[in-house]
Amino acid sequence: MKTRIGIDALGVAVPRRYVELADLASARGVAPEKYLRGLGVREMAVAEPGEDTVALAALAARRALAASGIDPRDLGMLVVGTETGVDHAKPVASYVHGLLELPRAMRVYDTQHACYGGTAGLMAAVEWIASGAAGDRAALVVCSDVARYGVGTPGEPTQGAGAVAMVVATNPALVELDVGLSGAASTHVHDFWRPLGAREAQVDGHYSVQCYLDALATAYRGWKAIAVERDVVRPGGVVSERLARICYHVPFCKMARKAHQHVRRCDLEDASAPWDVAQEEARADASFAAQVEPSLGACTRVGNIYTGSLYLGLAGLLHADARDLGGKRIGLFSYGSGCTSEFFSGVVAARAAERIARAAIDDVLAARERISVAEYERIMALPATSPLGAAPTDGYRFVGVSGHQRQYARPPA
């Protein structure tokens, strides 16, 4: 019998503070509509230095394990995908492993390729289980990042921070992934990078949008060729419409709209049928509203979380729509600048609504505090090693460096 493998549970962690993008627009002398409609962003998470990649990852991981109900002794692998690691050698995963007191007999490592790192971890986990090497064990995959472009830069409204953790196991309660059914695309480009020692990313923003779309076309067509060959989707016409929903990597929510238009354009070109531009525009809008928009609810309130952005989209989608999606196939597109990317798919589990409720996404977002632009700028100016020092009643915190070693506080047991 075929082994069903996929995402069994999700946990989400975000910083305690956020800034309204309308406030940021006013402070920068920009029309708020540019941020709210032009970029599709509404709120942006602001991480203080105590809420670093490790602290966010540990909290998301703890929440995912609790949501899954798995005994941590049944884990055999922990992978953290991140592009904002805290050390050149010691992985974020090893801090998380220690903070959560996970078993000794397991693989623990980080994966890095800009925003794709988490997907690299997810694929490694799925294929580890599919190979039989995992035995009865499950994997914990965490995507965690603090996205900084810097005050006053064009990238400023597309910052954010947060982590999404996933328990990957057999008989998953959220999404069964189509193992081996994916399309990948990679090219050596300098669309976004972060030199060693720099806290802020370098980005050629408009070029990065083009690199994303070029990669998407190749990755989607790669997925489609295998999906058609395996009879997973019927060929011809706008094949992407046969997916109930599509989650795209969302550096800012408008990117998902551009991505979806591009996928439809690929389908139309592949079908070699003439199309009416005005009609297609209307159809693309309707299909975006039905197939993509439901996944953007959480993303628009947190901003870019790099590796976790695609999975925050998935969490938001399941939170909004899981009850209608049981048994239906969805598509997912992961993009990491530099660049590499992957289009893949899976089927939503019948019990996904009940399981995603345990991620308590509304509560996670509601627990945050809105801050002013002046307070956001003060936090951005803090040195990376100067945490604000609040007691960790609700999560993990980086509390400073001692003997060249990063120190963390845990929430009370």
Residues in touch with ligand COA (CB under 6 A)? 31, 33-34, 37-39, 154-155, 158, 203, 205-206, 208-209, 212, 251-252, 254-255, 337
The smaller minimum CB distance to ligand COA, of residues 159 and 345, is found at 159
Q: How far apart are CA 288 and CA 280, in angstroms?
A: 12
Amino acid in the structure at residue 96 = V
Amino acid in the structure at residue 373 = V
Q: How far apart are the first and last CA of the chain?
A: 42
- To the nearest whole angstrom, how small is the minimum distance from the Cβ of residue 149 to ligand COA? 6
The smaller minimum CB distance to ligand COA, of residues 168 and 203, is found at 203
- State which H helix or E strand residue 318 sits in: helix 309-325
Nearest CA to 99 among 323, 352, 306, 392? 392
Amino acid in the structure at residue 351 = R
- Angle at CA 114, nearest 5°, toward 113 and 120? 40
Nearest CA to 395 among 6, 54, 93? 54
Burial tier of 279 (Cβ tally within 10 Å: 0-12, 13-18, 19+): exposed
The smaller minimum CB distance to ligand COA, of residues 28 and 368, is found at 28
- Tell me the residue ranges of DSSP E strands in 264-392: 329-336, 340-348, 369-370
Burial tier of 78 (Cβ tally within 10 Å: 0-12, 13-18, 19+): buried
Burial tier of 33 (Cβ tally within 10 Å: 0-12, 13-18, 19+): exposed
* DSSP label of 244: S
Residue of 20, 48, 115, 299 with catalytic role: 115
Q: What token pair was written down for 256?
A: 């998902």
- To the nearest whole angstrom, how small is the minimum distance from the Cβ of residue 144 to ligand COA? 18
- To the nearest whole angstrom, how small is the minimum distance from the Cβ of residue 182 to ligand COA? 19
- To the nearest whole angstrom, how small is the minimum distance from the Cβ of residue 202 to ligand COA? 10
- To the nearest whole angstrom, how small is the minimum distance from the Cβ of residue 116 to ligand COA? 10
The values of phi and psi at residue 44, to 5°, are -135, 125
Contact between 142 and 119 under an 8 Å Cβ cutoff? The reply is no
Residue of 20, 43, 48, 83 with catalytic role: 83
The smaller minimum CB distance to ligand COA, of residues 125 and 203, is found at 203
Question: For residue 394, what are the contacts with CB-CB under 8 A and spacing of at least 6?
Answer: 16, 367, 411
- To the nearest whole angstrom, how small is the minimum distance from the Cβ of residue 48 to ligand COA? 22
Contact between 222 and 185 under an 8 Å Cβ cutoff? The reply is yes
Q: How far apart are CA 209 and CA 268, in angstroms?
A: 21
The smaller minimum CB distance to ligand COA, of residues 189 and 360, is found at 189
The smaller minimum CB distance to ligand COA, of residues 93 and 298, is found at 298
115 is annotated as an active-site residue: yes
- To the nearest whole angstrom, how small is the minimum distance from the Cβ of residue 43 to ligand COA? 16
Contact between 44 and 24 under an 8 Å Cβ cutoff? The reply is yes
- To the nearest whole angstrom, how small is the minimum distance from the Cβ of residue 230 to ligand COA? 30
The smaller minimum CB distance to ligand COA, of residues 149 and 223, is found at 149
Total residue length of the chain: 413
Residue of 249, 260, 262, 319 with catalytic role: 249
Burial tier of 241 (Cβ tally within 10 Å: 0-12, 13-18, 19+): middle
The smaller minimum CB distance to ligand COA, of residues 81 and 155, is found at 155
249 is annotated as an active-site residue: yes
260 is annotated as an active-site residue: no
Q: How far apart are CA 22 and CA 1, in angstroms?
A: 53
**Residues labelled catalytic:** 83, 115, 249
